[in-house]
Amino acid sequence: MRIPEDYLQELTERCPIEDVVGEYVRLTKRTGANLFGLCPFHSEKTPSFSVNPDKQIYHCFGCGKGGGVINFIMEIENLSFPDAVAFLARRAGMAPPPQEEDPGASHRERLLELNRDAARFFYRCLMGPEGGPGRAYVERRGISPAMVRTFGLGLAPQSWNALTDAMTAKGYTRLELAQAGLVREGKKNGVYDTFRNRLMFPVIDVRGSVIGFSGRILDEGEPKYMNSPETAVFNKSRNLFAMNLAKKSKSGYILLTEGNIDVVSLHQAGFDSAVASLGTSLTPEQARLMRRYTSEIILCYDGDAAGQKASQRAIGILEKLDLKVRVLQLQDAKDPDEYIRRFGADAFRALLTGSEDQVEFRLRRLAGQYDLKTDEGRLDFLKSATAWCAGLPGALEREIYAGRVAELAGVNQDAVAQEVQRLLRRQEARSRRKEDRDMVRKARVPVPQTQAGKSAPAFANQRSAGAERGILQLLLLDPGLFRGREEPLPEQFSSEFLGRLYAVLRSRLEAGQPLSLAALSGELSQEEVSYLAGLLQDEAVELRNGQKALDDYIQILRDERQRSSAAEDLQARAQQLRQKKGYGG
């Protein structure tokens, strides 16, 4: 059966949206009834993500996402509606609700069980007779038996079907193995193991489930690292290796590295907040995952040019989330694992203490691009550096680093400060013009968002769509206006999207069911709930003359339908006339 309405009501009452969102987003700016923060669903520097405690909704004026507390957990945790309800129920100390089996959830659970059993198989292989090459590699890299157990390391044997045979013997099908990314299709409808002759690192999410694997080859072949493909339970851009362990750290920061071995080595040396991205550059989703557990990130990438470039990119992502960022400079070692093996944990700890602020790191990197011994080089550096200074968020930062720029270029500090102020005024003017354009854009009839987050095609009839939008607002905010009224009917709507929303809301109203976003979260798509949240967040809606407004909206629908019908009749007659005269087809 469906989740009872009274259960959802109690759940949302026990999980105030401002408290739940506040665990993921720093809500500091208050405007009227709204709290504001940086949107966790897209990158931004100016807060456009709002939470309304009175209406118990969130809405981003930038990307358009919105809804109630259940929708927020669905989006931020990448969960289905039943899983999000269960997540919040655990948080609130409530028993899980009775509900029908979710085929999608049972499929995901099956894949998680398969991954767990595969991880156990790999571990047994590493510990068993065939595990000699893997154990030799582990010993050569200085990984202790305790770390092997902590990370659940294993061995994928040099075999085409060892895992396949072991898992099918446990009752898993070849289709399930393929869906988990553990096998690949071979010739004549056969399959073969994806991972072979590799040290296996299970990827475990923050809830403790094995969602995928990362395998490091034991010889000199390629690729050196291989990750599970995207599956129903594994998305490498949203997860971090060892985040399940690092989230428990009391260090106050997260050490972000590039490789799995680096992470294991750091944990073994006592640095239990180390994590690594899964074969990709840092993504905004991974950055937001870290922000749940810390406000400070220390970048510990490789010391080569690629590592420095990756640091620059990561800084750009992390600073947009208002995270404090420090950068570790490794000397005489290519990566953290080598540094610790050569110089020890105490030396690395001293390195951490002296790690430089990301602003200083970026300034030093910027200065390194120019020849500051020549006038031309200093001028080019000053152009870039003053523009960079003008983009710093605080006045004190701009003043301090303008002085550092002047010092590096050997010029007067006042001249640099004046140029920074000039560029800052220009940036602020551009920002104001952009805000003005955004205000004009937001004043137009909103257009629903597609799955990819891009605007759907504009409404064919803007006048009718505006009235339809107003009807939906009135229905959400004052349902009593619609009781006992036949009109409007869903088929009178010119927009199929808005007509469907109206039909769902009207059906619930007539059945005596609530129109809260919590109740609607299991029935509508995230895009549809986001659209309704935007309507609820619209402070311009006027309810004092709601009855007259509804009558006016309905009349607009009638007029536009009549006009559309007349236009269609005229086109039909014109077509008939062209055919009669023999010059139309």
Model pLDDT, residue 113: 96
Judged against a pLDDT cut of 70, whether residue 470 lies above it is answered with yes
Model pLDDT, residue 467: 86
Q: Which residues are 35's β-sheet partners?
A: 30, 51
Model pLDDT, residue 449: 44
Judged against a pLDDT cut of 80, whether residue 580 lies above it is answered with no
Helix residue spans in 444-545 (DSSP H) = 462-477, 496-510, 517-520, 526-537
Stretch 139-162: mean pLDDT? 96
Rounded to 10 deg, the angle between the 162-169 and 103-127 helix axes is: 120
Q: Which residues are 199's β-sheet partners?
A: 155, 216
**Banded model confidence at residue 167, pLDDT cuts 50, 70, 90:** very high
DSSP 367: H
Q: What is the DSSP code string of 418-430? A: HHHHHHHHHHHHH
Judged against a pLDDT cut of 80, whether residue 359 lies above it is answered with no
Q: Which CATH class is domain 368-442?
A: mainly alpha
Model pLDDT, residue 165: 96
Q: Which residues are 155's β-sheet partners?
A: 199
Q: Between 364 and 140, whose confidence is greater? A: 140
150: left (phi over 0), alpha (psi -120 to 50) or beta: alpha
Domain 462-573 architecture: Orthogonal Bundle (1.10)
Stretch 168-182: mean pLDDT? 96
Stretch 238-250: mean pLDDT? 93
Model pLDDT, residue 280: 74
Rounded to a whole number, what is the largest CA-CA distance in the chain? Answer: 95
**Banded model confidence at residue 439, pLDDT cuts 50, 70, 90:** very low
Stretch 70-85: mean pLDDT? 86
Model pLDDT, residue 202: 98
Q: What is the residue extent of each domain of the chain?
A: 5-92, 104-234, 243-359, 368-442, 462-573
Q: Which two tokens stand for residue 565?
A: 């019908």
CATH code assigned to 104-234 = 3.90.980.10
Q: Which of 236-245, 353-362, 422-431 has the highest mean pLDDT?
A: 236-245
Model pLDDT, residue 466: 84
Model pLDDT, residue 566: 67
Q: Which two tokens stand for residue 108?
A: 């995901």
Stretch 24-30: mean pLDDT? 80
**Could you give the percent of the chain with pLDDT greater than 70?**
88
User: Any idea which fold 243-359 has?
Assistant: Dna Topoisomerase Vi A Subunit; Chain: A, domain 2 (3.40.1360)
Is 276:259 a contact under the CB 8 Å cutoff?
A: yes
Q: Which of 64-68, 217-221, 284-288, 340-344 has the highest mean pLDDT?
A: 340-344
Model pLDDT, residue 1: 44
Q: Which residues are 449's β-sheet partners?
A: 455
**Banded model confidence at residue 169, pLDDT cuts 50, 70, 90:** very high
H or E stretch including 285?
Answer: helix 284-291
Model pLDDT, residue 442: 42
Judged against a pLDDT cut of 70, whether residue 176 lies above it is answered with yes
Model pLDDT, residue 530: 87
DSSP 231: -
pLDDT per residue as tens digits for the range 492-534: 888 888 988 999 898 888 888 888 888 788 788 888 888 888 8
Judged against a pLDDT cut of 60, whether residue 294 lies above it is answered with yes
pLDDT per residue as tens digits for the range 199-221: 999 999 988 999 999 999 998 88
Stretch 159-175: mean pLDDT? 96
Judged against a pLDDT cut of 70, whether residue 489 lies above it is answered with yes
Order of strands, edge to edge, in the sheet holding 274-276? 274-276, 254-257, 296-299, 324-327, 356-357
Judged against a pLDDT cut of 80, whether residue 379 lies above it is answered with yes
Stretch 344-369: mean pLDDT? 78
User: Is residue 298 classed as helix, strand or coil in its secondary structure?
Assistant: strand
Residues 47 and 51: their CA atoms lie apart, in Å, by 11
CA distances from 420 to 45, 398, 427 (A): 19, 8, 10
Q: Which residues are 256's β-sheet partners?
A: 275, 299
Residues 135 and 148: their CA atoms lie apart, in Å, by 10
Cα angle vertex 38, ends 34, 39, to 5°? Answer: 90
Q: Which of 88-92, 266-270, 299-303 has the highest mean pLDDT?
A: 266-270
Judged against a pLDDT cut of 70, whether residue 583 lies above it is answered with no
Global confidence as pTM: 0.62
pLDDT per residue as tens digits for the range 397-438: 788 878 888 888 888 888 888 888 888 888 777 766 664 554
Model pLDDT, residue 342: 92
Nearest Cα to Cα of residue 519 among 5, 146, 175: 5
Q: Which two tokens stand for residue 273?
A: 């907040």
Mean pLDDT for the chain? 84
Q: Which is it for strands 154-156 and 66-67: parallel, antiparallel or unpaired? A: unpaired
Judged against a pLDDT cut of 70, whether residue 103 lies above it is answered with no
Residues 314 and 309: their CA atoms lie apart, in Å, by 9
Judged against a pLDDT cut of 70, whether residue 66 lies above it is answered with yes
User: Any idea which fold 5-92 has?
Assistant: DNA Primase; Chain A (3.90.580)
User: Is residue 541 classed as helix, strand or coil in its secondary structure?
Assistant: coil
Is 340:266 a contact under the CB 8 Å cutoff?
A: yes
Residues 105 and 462: their CA atoms lie apart, in Å, by 40
Residues 25 and 49: their CA atoms lie apart, in Å, by 9
Judged against a pLDDT cut of 50, whether residue 455 lies above it is answered with no
Order of strands, edge to edge, in the sheet holding 66-67? 29-31, 34-37, 49-52, 57-60, 66-67
**Banded model confidence at residue 80, pLDDT cuts 50, 70, 90:** confident
